[in-house]
Amino acid sequence: MLETWRKEGLDWRIAKKLLLTHKSNNQYSGIMTLAVDGEATQVIVDVVYDGDSFQWQIHEP
């Protein structure tokens, strides 16, 4: 699944790789590699998955 959105003032970023580690219960943490204007950059991602849906939060380095 590819999720995209448009919002004025945001740069286009495409996820190239996502590595997650199980922290506890339904919580995961990891690193996402993004392509930003042709350059690779990494951000920290926290994910919560309840078995049906998930939420994520991206932290800029």
On average, the pLDDT of the chain sits at: 82
pLDDT value of position 26 = 95
pLDDT in tens, 7-38: 555 556 678 899 999 999 999 999 998 887 77
What strands, in cross-sheet order, belong to the sheet with 13-24?
13-24, 27-36, 39-49, 54-59
pLDDT value of position 41 = 85
* CA angle 49–51–55, rounded 5-degree value: 25
Predicted structure pTM score? 0.69
pLDDT value of position 4 = 57
